[in-house]
Chains A and B, each alone.
Chain A
């Protein structure tokens, strides 16, 4: 299995609270992604990164920000959590532009916003 960890694995928070999720990889892959998965919607891309300090928006980026200061870490921040952000969040990595469709996923973070 690819070396991808996510922390925390479970989190309960209150509406309006800032939340940061961390994705850490040991594969030295260039691309990193944050997805959310909800019933009836499947996996949807939030943000992705194509290098240190290089990030871009995905399909559902509103309400989320990301940062990547090191190759191995990709942080997802909910500045002010809302109940609609209750979801399972997955981080993924891919090695290069040429292999961007071959993505390796982390175990996920279950977030509940009350």
Chain B
């Protein structure tokens, strides 16, 4: 089972920042938080990952709370092309399988 909890769906206006929360209260000390997204009919896309420090790349920023029990993915200026299901992932099973939850369906509205 997934070690993360995410809202089922969220809306965001185009051009605004999209903030996607994730709870991972049972995260272990050496486990990273990973974010992926899947745009309709495409393969999943890696976005960003972090351990305990905030991270930023060309796609997004990742804010991890000090106790590491939750995190927020921030898309700073959402566009219509950011409409997708966003997955917060913590850990892998013994078969090197990422443990995928249901994700958050983010809809960017014009």
Binding site for B on A (CB under 8 A): 31, 33, 42-45, 48, 56-59, 90, 92, 100-108
Query: Does B49 make an interface contact (CB < 8 A)?
Result: yes
Name the interface residues of B4-43: CB closer than 8 Å to any CB of A.
Answer: 32, 34, 41-43
Q: Are A100 and B95 in contact (CB under 8 A)?
A: no
Residue interface bits B71-96, CB-to-A below 8 A is 1, else 0: 00000000000000000010011011
**Interface residues of A: mostly helix, strand, loop or mixed?**
strand
Q: Are B49 and A57 in contact (CB under 8 A)?
A: no
Name the interface residues of B89-110: CB closer than 8 Å to any CB of A.
Answer: 89, 92-93, 95-98, 100-102
Q: Are B95 and A59 in contact (CB under 8 A)?
A: yes
Q: Are B97 and A58 in contact (CB under 8 A)?
A: yes
Q: Nearest B residue to A40 by beta-carbon distance?
A: B102
Q: Are B98 and A43 in contact (CB under 8 A)?
A: yes
Q: Are B43 and A107 in contact (CB under 8 A)?
A: yes
- Given known pairs A42-B102, A45-B95, A102-B49, the reply for A108 and B43 (CB within 8 Å) is yes
Question: Would you list 15 pairs from A and B whose C-beta atoms are within 8 A, ordered by A residue?
Answer: A42-B102, A43-B44, A43-B98, A44-B97, A57-B95, A58-B95, A58-B96, A58-B97, A92-B44, A101-B92, A102-B46, A103-B98, A106-B43, A107-B42, A107-B43
**Chain B proximity of A86: nearest CB distance (Å):** 16
Query: Does B45 make an interface contact (CB < 8 A)?
Result: yes
Residues of A within 8 A of B93 (CB): 59
